[in-house]
């Protein structure tokens, strides 16, 4: 454990801001239905399309998303990605293998599925970041990357409230409690609030970021899948500083929890989400969210249907200094 005084110092360096103007995105060059991840990802669904057709549609959605975000003043670094010796069907979701902090640290995380470990390319990522004008990061690792026996899939499983120094996490095969605490201590977060979930199928949610999002002044959460005692603890923490939007499990299935608050180059707050999520939010829920940023719906229907992840999963926040 890090001494409290040192941890508070690290926290003040890293959690000064909650939203960023910069993101990293990875094109879906190998994209298709990932049979390895489908074992615990109930959001994945196959379509009656060939792999070539799927990749074509996914790449079109990806390019349109990049242009839309750039049009709203978001700094998008596209990490050029060449296929590896083995397939990497989920490379379009880079937020699961790395995260960044304002002090220049870049953390790498152990992935649960073998074909997802092939996505971890720190040299390629560093080159893309430096080319985009960011300082070369200090690359750090949590756990074992190549042959892990425990997993922590970055901001897929950790929802970070940078403003309050808190990490929220739904425990699962992809979110190990010990690694979670190790990262929180090393990165300087003051509190870790972890909890168990159970969907109507009886299974836990595979990634916290499909059920929950935290912005500067708001939170979206599918609290009905959290056990009652833990639910009160999670909601009590969020309600201290956030407008809380509670979504149903059905809305979660439309990726209403998989959204991300960003900011434009002019400081305007934006909330990126998929078109399916936008259409599934109620008018009242959208009214609350609009108090915290312009809603930016993006059509990624092919990617979210086959990949089981949506807009937030496609965005790796870049807090690194320029």
- CA-based R_g, the chain, Å: 18
Asked whether the predicted pLDDT for residue 48 surpasses 80, the reply is no
pLDDT at residue 167, rounded to an integer: 98
Asked whether the predicted pLDDT for residue 5 surpasses 50, the reply is no
Is residue 15 classed as helix, strand or coil in its secondary structure?
A: coil
pLDDT at residue 43, rounded to an integer: 62
Check if the beta carbon of residue 246 is closer than 8 Å to that of residue 223: yes
pLDDT at residue 50, rounded to an integer: 83
Find the range with the poorest average confidence among 5-9, 27-31, 296-300: 5-9
Find the range with the poorest average confidence among 13-27, 59-73, 209-223, 247-261: 13-27
**Pick from 191, 193, 185: nearest CA to 7:** 185
Q: Compute the mean pLDDT over every residue in the chain, rounded to the nearest whole number.
A: 91
Under the banding of pLDDT at 50, 70 and 90, the label for residue 68 is very high
pLDDT at residue 31, rounded to an integer: 83
Q: Domains in the chain, start-ordered, CATH in brackets?
A: 4-317 (3.75.10.10)
Under the banding of pLDDT at 50, 70 and 90, the label for residue 9 is very low
Asked whether the predicted pLDDT for residue 56 surpasses 70, the reply is yes
pLDDT at residue 308, rounded to an integer: 86
Asked whether the predicted pLDDT for residue 54 surpasses 90, the reply is no
Asked whether the predicted pLDDT for residue 13 surpasses 60, the reply is no
pLDDT at residue 42, rounded to an integer: 61
pLDDT at residue 146, rounded to an integer: 87
pLDDT at residue 22, rounded to an integer: 98
pLDDT at residue 51, rounded to an integer: 80
Find the range with the poorest average confidence among 5-14, 27-36, 182-191, 194-203: 5-14
- The string of DSSP letters for 106-156 reads EEE---SSHHHHTT--HHHHHHHHHHTTPPPPEEEE-S-SSS-SS-B-HHH
227's tokens: 């056990």
Asked whether the predicted pLDDT for residue 38 surpasses 60, the reply is no
Predicted confidence (pLDDT) per residue in 270-298, tens digit:
999 999 999 999 999 999 999 999 999 99
The Cα 55–Cα 176 span in angstroms is 32
- Look at 248 and 87; give whichever has higher pLDDT: 248
- The string of DSSP letters for 253-320 reads HTTTT--EEEE-TT--EEEEEEHHHHHHS-HHHHHHHHTTSEEEEE--HHHHHHHS--TGGG-EE---
pLDDT at residue 143, rounded to an integer: 95
Asked whether the predicted pLDDT for residue 147 surpasses 70, the reply is yes
Predicted confidence (pLDDT) per residue in 97-143, tens digit:
999 999 999 999 999 988 889 999 999 999 999 999 999 999 999 99
The Cα 185–Cα 35 span in angstroms is 34
122's tokens: 């720190």
Burial (CB count within 10 angstroms: exposed 0-12, middle 13-18, buried 19+), residue 50: exposed
């Amino acid at each position: 454990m890090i001494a409290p005084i040192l941890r508070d110092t690290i926290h003040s360096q890293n959690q000064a801001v909650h939203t960023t103007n910069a993101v990293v995105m990875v094109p879906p060059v190998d994209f298709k239905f990932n049979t390895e991840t489908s074992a615990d990802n109930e959001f994945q669904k196959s379509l009656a399309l060939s792999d070539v057709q799927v990749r074509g549609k996914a790449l079109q959605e990806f390019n349109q998303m990049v242009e839309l975000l750039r049009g709203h003043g978001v700094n998008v670094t596209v990490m050029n990605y060449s296929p590896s010796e083995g397939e990497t069907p989920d490379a379009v979701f880079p937020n699961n293998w790395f995260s960044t902090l304002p002090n220049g640290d870049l953390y790498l995380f152990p992935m649960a599925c073998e074909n997802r470990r092939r996505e971890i390319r720190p040299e390629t990522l560093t080159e893309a970041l430096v080319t985009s004008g960011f300082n070369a990061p200090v690359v750090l690792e949590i756990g074992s990357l190549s042959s892990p026996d425990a997993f922590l899939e970055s901001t897929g499983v950790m929802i970070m409230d940078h403003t309050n120094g808190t990490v929220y996490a739904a425990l699962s095969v992809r979110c190990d409690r010990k690694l979670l605490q190790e990262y929180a201590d090393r990165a300087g977060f003051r509190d870790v609030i972890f909890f168990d979930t159970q969907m109507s199928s009886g299974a836990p949610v595979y990634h916290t970021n499909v059920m929950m999002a935290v912005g500067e002044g708001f939170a979206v959460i599918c609290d009905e899948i959290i056990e009652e005692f833990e639910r009160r603890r999670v909601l009590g923490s969020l309600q201290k500083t956030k407008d809380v939007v509670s979504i149903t499990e059905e809305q979660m299935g439309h990726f209403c929890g998989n959204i991300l608050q960003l900011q434009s180059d002019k400081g305007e707050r934006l909330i990126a989400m998929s078109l399916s999520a936008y259409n599934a939010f109620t008018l009242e829920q959208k009214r609350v969210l609009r108090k915290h940023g312009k809603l930016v719906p993006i059509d990624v229907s092919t990617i979210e249907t086959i990949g089981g992840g949506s807009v937030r999963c496609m965005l790796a926040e870049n807090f690194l200094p320029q």
